[in-house]
């Protein structure tokens, strides 16, 4: 099932793309963690639009990575 063209999700994704494209090189550590979490969260949410088998497989991989990224951010006091 495709995402509706009028969904506010597209605006959020566009904003993140703008942010990611304008980051300095190398990316400050605080933004690297934030970027990783936002990318993994987006992947998890978008996987709900896939078939149940494909979506489950993606979420099974993304969930542990998202927990690790969140733990790294929490450990560094963000």
Instruction: Give 24-63 pLDDT, tens digit per residue.
Output: 778 777 777 777 787 788 777 777 777 888 888 888 888 8
Instruction: Confirm if 76 and 29 have CB atoms less than 8 A apart.
Output: yes
Phi, psi of 54 (to 5 degrees): -65, -40
- DSSP codes of every residue in 13-41: HHHHHHHHHT--SSPPHHHHHHHHHHHHH
**Annotated domain spans of the chain:** 29-78
Q: What pLDDT sits at residue 3? A: 63
Of 8 and 20, the one with more pLDDT: 8
pLDDT value at 1 more than 60: no
Q: What is the pTM of this model?
A: 0.53
């Amino acid at each position: 099932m495709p995402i509706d063209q009028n969904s506010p999700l597209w605006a959020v994704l566009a904003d993140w793309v703008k942010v990611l494209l304008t980051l300095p090189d190398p990316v400050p550590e605080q933004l690297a963690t934030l970027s990783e979490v936002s990318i993994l969260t987006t992947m998890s949410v978008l996987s709900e639009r896939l078939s149940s088998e494909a979506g489950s497989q993606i979420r099974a991989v993304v969930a542990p990575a998202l927990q690790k990224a969140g733990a790294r951010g929490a450990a560094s006091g963000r």
